[in-house]
Structure 1
């Protein structure tokens, strides 16, 4: 089991393989982001995208899928996330793209109000098959502390 104490600042990881299909792009757009350039070849051709592209929110969901699959490799004492500090869609994602992720732990700290948990900040980057950055985010994760009785270091 991986606990808060086991997280090291600067740790990097590369993982994931997600093939983006037209059917999934259209299905996600119909349900959650029904803008014409996500649904219609004709409408998309009139935009800077040039063709149907995945919703940025769909790109986030595909990234999350890869993150969770990677987390399942080593069991973690994860406690969810209080949110994202930064989210940027750098390039469109298109049907036929294959995505992968890279992460880096930026910082971590124990919670003073909840000594049984710690917070860590990670930069996640998603790339397409051409190694072009399509998504970048800085997010926060909560993780259980192995021994809450150990004093918090300043």
Structure 2
């Protein structure tokens, strides 16, 4: 049974797993979505922040949303890319529930405020975001 809004508690932490970043995927993403020289293989190659965010979203979808009665996201706040991500880096994700409130427009749902983080192999944050998720209430 999927996790309902009522199953999330402030302070809950969800580990999202880890992902190793490759040279090939950095360049492939950059060619398609963010064709800046630093992302295309010139000199000191670094991943696009949008690529880092997309990798985080994949882990979040796999580990949290797939197991929840999720609807949509009303948005994000405070997206920050804190440190460059390079080929070979291993990124580990986690999400912490910061707040939970009734939806003002959907009585069948509640809104979760969550802080998402990606840490590198040295446990240094490389990305932080505050995200919101609309989750269905139990029995709705």
TM over 0.5: yes
| CA displacement at 1:98 relative to structure 2 | 0.7
**Structure 2: how far apart are the matches of 1:75 and 1:109?**
20
- Equivalent in the alignment of 2:134: 142
* Residues 13-52 of structure 1 aligned to structure 2 (within 5 Å): 13-42=14-43, 51-52=44-45
**Structure 2: how far apart are the matches of 1:18 and 1:40?**
20
TM-score under structure 1 normalisation? 0.85
For residues 13 and 71 of structure 1, do their structure 2 counterparts lie closer, same or farther at Cα, with a shift above 3 Å needed?
closer
- Equivalent in the alignment of 1:46: none
* Residues 83-98 of structure 1 aligned to structure 2 (within 5 Å): 83-98=75-90
Decide which structure has the larger Cα Rg and report it: 1
- Equivalent in the alignment of 1:151: none
* Residues 1-154 of structure 1 aligned to structure 2 (within 5 Å): 1-42=2-43, 51-71=44-64, 75-148=67-140
**Any stretches of 5+ residues in structure 2 without a counterpart?**
none
| CA displacement at 1:14 relative to structure 2 | 2.2
**Any stretches of 5+ residues in structure 1 without a counterpart?**
43-50, 149-154
TM-score under structure 2 normalisation? 0.93
8 Å contact from structure 1 (residues 2, 75) kept in 2? yes
Quote the RMSD (CA, aligned, Å): 1.4
